[in-house]
Amino acid sequence: MYTTTRKIAGGTFMVCGDCGYAISMNKICKTPLQSATDMLKHMSVHNASRAFAPVVEHVTQAEPEADASDELVN
């Protein structure tokens, strides 16, 4: 999910492959526990959005079906 990217001007970043969110390697080295927590929170948001995406898509695309019993009545 995260890839390491090195800029020509200097600096190395961990970049999210899904949305492009970047965390500086300097920040990761200075505050490793906080950076790891931030990365896990970020990944959990992606996982949660994937988990609920089929439900939301199904609900928004659902159309009411015609009642077959109304068509049979004269």
pLDDT averaged over every residue in the chain: 76
Let me know if residue 72 belongs to a domain: no
What value, to the nearest 5°, has the Cα angle with vertex 26 and ends 21 and 28? 65
Host H or E run for residue 13: strand 12-16
Report pLDDT for 33. Answer: 94
Give 32's pLDDT tier (boundaries 50, 70, 90).
very high
Domain range enclosing 26:
2-62
Q: What span, in angstroms and rounded, lies between the C-alpha atoms of 16 and 1? A: 6
Structure confidence by residue, pLDDT tens digits, 11-21: 899 888 888 88
Count of the separate structural domains present in the chain: 1
What is the amino acid identity at position 29?
A: C
Report, in this order, helix, strand and coil percent for the chain, each rounded to 5.
Answer: 55, 20, 25
Let me know if residue 18 belongs to a domain: yes
Let me know if residue 71 belongs to a domain: no
Let me know if residue 28 belongs to a domain: yes
Report pLDDT for 58. Answer: 47
Structure confidence by residue, pLDDT tens digits, 37-65: 998 998 888 887 777 666 555 444 445 55
